[in-house]
A and B are shown apart, each in its own frame.
Chain A
Amino acid sequence: GAGVSQSPSNKVTEKGKDVELRCDPISGHTALYWYRQSLGQGLEFLIYFQGNSAPDKSGLPSDRFSAERTGGSVSTLTIQRTQQEDSAVYLCASSSSPGSGGYTFGSGTRLTVV
């Protein structure tokens, strides 16, 4: 596609429920990143996929968070048993290769846990 697409744009969920957030990167981009921005905070790195390599999961805050990238394209971020502190904007970005310079970000998914 022309840009990075994320869905849904907004999600309100009850505490304890599981949620899935989707990212459709730019076609051909081999690197895909998930970040989140909590209120008043910067962008916090979560996870990074590069080609067929094992993902860098070093930023995931707990084992309730997981992500996969199928076929080197679409990625899904799953949060199990959501907590109120999970409320944030979840941003996905892709790039043509690591070190290529800027990432292209999607518009994000605003997650609210009530």
Chain B
Amino acid sequence: DQQVKQNSPSLSVQEGRISILNCDYTNSMFDYFLWYKKYPAEGPTFLISISSIKDKNEDGRFTVFLNKSAKHLSLHIVPSQPGDSAVYFCAASAHSGNTPLVFGKGTRLSVIA
């Protein structure tokens, strides 16, 4: 029973265009959401987060949008760069992060030059 779902295992985008990675969750207790980026043979690295009291958080080229009623969040990367090619994991937690993060299966993003 997956509580965090990333339904697209892979995504291919041209350099300079927008990448949109999607994530859905089922647990209504989740109130804190994060995105991680993972390169091969490395551990995931934290990218951006959002609390359920917000619907948008922006950090440079990265923006996360949260739609609580739809239990859906998305990560927008614009403009996409070849160095953004990696696996992106969506993660969620209840009680403002005081429970272990629950991760999705990840989406492999390929940015083509």
Contacts and interface: CB of A to CB of B under 8 A. Distances in A.
Interface residues of A, number: 25
Interface string B73-113: 00000000000000001010101111111111110000000
B1 to A, nearest CB: 13
Contact of A33 (B6, B98, B100): B100
B41 interface: yes
Given A91-B44, A99-B98, A101-B34, 9 more contacts: A33-B100, A42-B4, A42-B104, A43-B44, A45-B101, A45-B102, A98-B99, A102-B46, A107-B43
Contacts, number: 59
A44 B32 CA distance: 18
Interface of B: 4, 6, 32, 34, 36, 41-46, 49, 89, 91, 93, 95-106
A77 B38 CA distance: 22
23 contacts: A4-B43, A33-B100, A33-B101, A40-B105, A42-B103, A42-B104, A43-B89, A43-B91, A45-B100, A45-B101, A56-B100, A98-B97, A99-B32, A99-B95, A101-B34, A101-B49, A101-B97, A102-B49, A104-B46, A106-B43, A107-B41, A107-B43, A108-B43
**DSSP majority for the A interface?**
loop
Contacts of A99: 32, 93, 95-98
Interface of A: 4, 33, 35, 40-45, 48, 56, 59, 91, 93, 98-108
